[in-house]
Amino acid sequence: MAKYLLLKHYRHNGPAPVPGTEVMMDQWTPEEITAHIDYMSRFAGRLTERGEFVSEGALLPEGTFVRYDGEGRPPVTDGPFAETKDLIAGYMIIDVESQERAYEAAAELSAAPGQGGRPLYEWLEVRPFFAELQATAE
Amino acid sequence: MDDGQVNELMRTLAPRVLGVLVRRGADFATAEDAVQEALIEAVRHWPGNLPDEPKAWLLRVAGRKLIDAQRAEAARRRREERVHDEPASGPTEQSDDTLLLLSRCCHPALSPASAIALTLRAVGGLTTAQIARAFLVPEATMAQRISRAKRTITGERFDAPGDVRAVLHVLYLIFNEGFTGEISLADEAIRLTRQLVAAAARDAVDIADPEVSGLLALMLLHHARRAARYNASGELISLDQQDRSLWDTAMIAEGVDVLQGALAGDRLGPYQAQAAIAALHDDAPTAEETDWTQILEWYDELTRLADSPVVALNRAVAVGQVDGPRAGLAVLADVDPKLARWDAVAAHLYERADDAAQAIRHYTIAADRATSLFERTHLMKQAARLRTQQQ
């Protein structure tokens, strides 16, 4: 088994969105929002049933940069930056048999319904985790 | 007895046994570990083979575990054996240690998160693994949080109960954690608060604070609506949209009863006032029939008892219902707009004032500022609903 991080972005530097899917969720109808959320929770349920679900989380849009500023001094913060080019909206970690299966799961997530009940065709970033060192590795 | 009943029995007895050991002079942290180990033995032996006196059994095993633990520390050995050698519990040992234990677990030196974890384990009788799952953290993390908490309060005196208000605050925080996973923290909080109320009834002199019952009433009167609060997709449903036939009428009746008992004590406090507001909502057959005039009176009372920006925000909603949305907005103008729910309240009032454009604007800002995904979706849908209506 191998772990993969599925990243959902608010906006990103990756490929351009599929035409006709650019409308943000806050412009959908209440029914479209409900249908989307239903799909997402059923998707997590299916992964759990298959023994592939690890964890998931959703993040607030705003973040702040923070760093060390020397002994005894409070941390330095910069931001919040709302206008950065890339923002992570949420993540899901799955533990699957193969990269092929990870892509399949990501595609299923990407097919979540959006406006008019049509699939979102949303680009998701799939990042493999480094594996544990195997006991037989020399 | 089935496994569920055995488990229930163990969880009821665990804090009592801990109370006995602590009162006999055992160090809290070591005694708490000993009780946990005794529970593990009980899980192994009790199903199908329940001892005649389960509490005595647990006390004996925990006492032995305590001795085992203390053997390694020769310096403390004599004292602990004296503890162990005391006679088994008699009638006087039935007196209640619930408050004593709770006030240690909710000690002001502990952070809220530590107090919550320690309370759930030492008094709630939950395992570290269960608590970890309830808070979605790894078990090792929760185990560390608990042992750090125990180290913090090591050396604190255990002979007198501490501040009951600090205990109530921790129980209130546990209740507010909700009921998402396998362990319903709201149910745990109610269970613990019931124990405290029962202890207060038995030991009327020490903790005859009506706020104890007030908190229990508040929990019951809110928890009674739990089945109506979320739809099948797990989305939040606001009070005025809830299907009131799903409300738990027996729990409401109990909550009202408990509240009346508290109010009879004639020492009003913030929990009783909040419970009274919840009771008035629960009492309305439909949202339209809500007695907002009385609710507003209780908010005025609450402002007097414990003024806070959150109270002021909720009071603006009540003013909006009694004197109209424009009056509500005027009150809202004096409330700190930095509050997370400020825009949600503004949106609601603008919607009732038929200003859809402002309502949509504030619902959208509120969704952006929401701190939970439930709220965010709910607010986004409110904006969407108004937009759809406008088209």
Q: Which of B373, B374, B390 to mutate to test the interface with A (most CBs of A within 10 A)?
A: B373
Per 3-state DSSP, chain A is made up of helix, strand and coil in percentages (nearest 5) of: 30, 30, 45
For residue A96, the model assigns a pLDDT of 93
Q: How far is A97 from chain B (nearest CA, A)?
A: 24
Using CB atoms, pick whichever of A29, A58, A60 lies closest to residue B384. A29
| Cβ–Cβ gap B368/A25 under 8 Å | no
> Is the CB of A37 inside 8 Å of chain B's CB atoms?
yes
Ranges of chain B whose pLDDT falls below 70: 72-96, 156-162, 178-182, 203-208
Tens-digit pLDDT profile for chain A (138 aa)?
Answer: 899 999 998 877 788 888 888 888 888 999 999 999 999 989 999 999 999 999 999 998 778 889 999 999 999 998 776 656 678 899 999 999 999 999 999 999 999 999 999 999 999 999 999 887 777 776
- Determine the residue of chain B that is closest to A56 in CA distance: B136
Flag whether residue A72 sits within 8 Å of chain B, measured between CB atoms: no
Tell me the pLDDT tens digit for each residue of A53-82: 999 999 987 788 899 999 999 999 987 766
At residue B91, the pLDDT reads 42
Torsion of CA B17, B23, B29, B32, to 10 degrees: 0
Q: Please answer yes or no on whether A41 and B388 come within 8 Å at the CB atom.
A: no
- What's the one-letter identity of residue B159? D
Neighbours of B388 (CB within 10 A): 13
A82 lies within 8 A of chain B by CB: no
The Cα B349–Cα B362 span in angstroms is 10
Minimum Cα–Cα distance from B378: chain A residue: A30
Of the partner residues A29, A41, A61, the one whose CB lies closest to the CB of residue B388: A29
Looking at chain A, which residue has its C-alpha nearest residue B364?
A: A26
> Which of B135, B137, B377, B378 should we substitute to test contact with A (largest number of A Cβ atoms within 10 Å)?
B377
Shortest CA distance from B391: residue in chain A = A29
Q: C-alpha distances in angstroms, B134 versus A59, B115, B129, B137, B142? A: 20, 15, 9, 8, 10
Task: Please state whether the predicted TM-score (pTM) of the whole model is above 0.95.
Answer: no
Q: Are B14 and B35 in contact (CB under 8 A)?
A: yes
Check if A22 contacts B (Cβ < 8 Å): no
Angstroms from B20 CA to nearest CA on chain A: 41
